[in-house]
Structure 1
């Protein structure tokens, strides 16, 4: 599977945002960080879900559907283990929706039919309440985008439009109280953030994205341990993200895969995968 560095950076960006929002959600006591609710809440899991669909299509280029099924089943195991300390984990949903949606739809040919199906599924998910119900549609849209490969010329126009839509809907929502408007504002914000990162190409986020599973799981461990202590959200999330970024840079300067990514790969292929230090000239 060929890695796309811009997607690694975007995945790293999403991991950082998820850590910040999850810390805010699980902190004891009043949640008065209005800027999290306004600018961050509901903006990062959609990015992560879209990227999961893209990654599925990328893996499918070089692996069979049986391999992908094993990959998803082991992800389900990871999620069930993580649920023992973090009930809000998302890995089990990703695994179940991957098996129930991505695998069957992968038999369709062409990106446009998958895109239409994904947009319809996303619209249904938004209308019936959002949450985990938007994941299948985002999976399919990501898979379709990997097939269609839109060019970089769409980044800036898309950024302007999605940012404007997000701002308008975020402003309208308190006046209407309509939940679908709130969810749509979050999706438009996620699109704006995604297009901004893809345009800017922040390479310093790539290690975070390459070790997304390791960083996501370790972040929830930190949240579970610190939530009852009522520490400031920014202090917990900021310290964790700095530590994860430094560790990711250090680890990937010596090894090909992150710790959990390496275990996941070996379980998927059911054989030992070399993760030896990279030789330097």
Structure 2
């Protein structure tokens, strides 16, 4: 249960958020350290090109979609606790923007500040619209951006709206009953994602920044990854992975920001800056994921929220929110997160 409300946590979404964080980390490492993409005049590093097709633009859309969905869930919760839920949400987004401003000093390409701005400008006004209008707006914005401006942060408004619409249509609360629908989307998305990935791979690397190949392939890849992960989570092996990823997803803000510090601290030792040591990049990403998985798991044995999540919640509600778990609550956590849900 959400400690601050009566609505059960949706463990699939926590796990999917943790899954997206892992993929985003790979891309953030080469952006933070300014690794070389080229190995010669007009020749892209083969491993960088492969990693770009597998990771770049695939996990950021998942994270953005889940942000819009979580915004809707929190708005409903705020409406139950406050007579002015939009003010609560506005304060929450402003606090996120402050986190983003600070984080921007260390990672200029970070997403928190743009998320806060788009949330205030797009999500808050759109939350009062009919659900079909939100869905249509999300589809138009998401599909139109790759055709016009090429993707990147321009995809955020549309993906936010799609996440908001997903909750308005009851997707969040009925995920476990939609297995065959998710499977149908996965079966359709995989060949489309593969074809788009081939298109992206065959596009000259420099041209990817201005064309439609990368954003289209990224969106289709994100859809295939997300639906595939949701199906995989329904297996016994998938449950084990989910139990690792769920705590990371619950502490997404803390893990996203702390990963920047870990990358910057490790870079001088690994010599990633201005290099093409992509094997070392993958090793660093795996190490950070392992550290954050353990840290998140054990932190949430004792506390309700991650460190930054707790500060964020206190500012959101403008009061000191209890964070430390009681002894009785800790006993209940002997049951793994993913079991029995």
TM over 0.5: yes
Cα distance in structure 1, aligned partners of 2:35 and 2:15: 33
Q: Deviations over 1:86-136 (max 9, x none)?
A: 111110000000000000111112x22211110101122212121100000
Aligned residue in 1 for 2:132:
112
**Counterpart among 255, 271, 280 of residue 230 in structure 1:** 271
Aligned residue in 2 for 1:155:
182
Cα distance in structure 2, aligned partners of 1:123 and 1:67: 31
Deviating beyond 6 angstroms after TM superposition, the runs of 4 or more aligned structure 1 residues are none
Cα distance in structure 1, aligned partners of 2:35 and 2:213: 27
**Could you say if the C-alpha distance between residues 28 and 123 of structure 1 is closer, same or farther in structure 2, counting changes exceeding 3 Å?**
closer
CA contact (8 A) 2:203 2:213 kept: no
Cα offset, 1:163, TM superposition: 1.4
Q: Deviations over 1:141-185 (max 9, x none)?
A: 011011113433211111111111111011123258672122111
CA contact (8 A) 1:74 1:268 kept: yes
Cα distance in structure 2, aligned partners of 1:212 and 1:221: 15
1:183 aligns with 2:210: no
**Could you say if the C-alpha distance between residues 96 and 175 of structure 1 is closer, same or farther in structure 2, counting changes exceeding 3 Å?**
closer
Cα distance in structure 2, aligned partners of 1:147 and 1:126: 25
Q: How many matched pairs?
A: 280
**Could you say if the C-alpha distance between residues 29 and 72 of structure 1 is closer, same or farther in structure 2, counting changes exceeding 3 Å?**
closer
1:38 aligns with 2:86: no
Aligned-residue RMSD, C-alpha: 1.7
Cα offset, 1:28, TM superposition: 4.6
Q: TM-score, normalised by structure 2?
A: 0.78
Aligned residue in 1 for 2:10:
4
Comparing 172-181 with 153-162, greater Cα deviation is found at: 172-181
Q: TM-score, normalised by structure 1?
A: 0.94
1:166 aligns with 2:161: no
**Counterpart among 52, 56, 64 of residue 67 in structure 2:** 52
Q: Any gaps of 5 or more consecutive residues in structure 2?
A: 38-44, 79-84, 172-177, 234-241, 273-279, 332-341
Cα offset, 1:39, TM superposition: 1.0
Aligned residue in 2 for 1:200:
232
CA contact (8 A) 2:100 2:113 kept: yes
Cα distance in structure 2, aligned partners of 1:172 and 1:83: 33
Cα distance in structure 2, aligned partners of 1:91 and 1:29: 23
Q: How does 1:1-281 map to 2 (within 5 A)?
A: 2=7, 3-31=9-37, 32=45, 33=47, 34-63=49-78, 64-109=85-130, 111-127=131-147, 128-150=149-171, 151-173=178-200, 174=202, 179-201=211-233, 202-228=242-268, 229-231=270-272, 232-280=280-328, 281=331
Comparing 63-72 with 167-176, greater Cα deviation is found at: 167-176
Cα distance in structure 1, aligned partners of 2:114 and 2:203: 33
Comparing 39-48 with 150-159, greater Cα deviation is found at: 150-159
Cα distance in structure 1, aligned partners of 2:215 and 2:203: 15
Q: Any gaps of 5 or more consecutive residues in structure 1?
A: none
Return the index of the structure with the highest Cα Rg: 2
CA contact (8 A) 1:9 1:197 kept: no
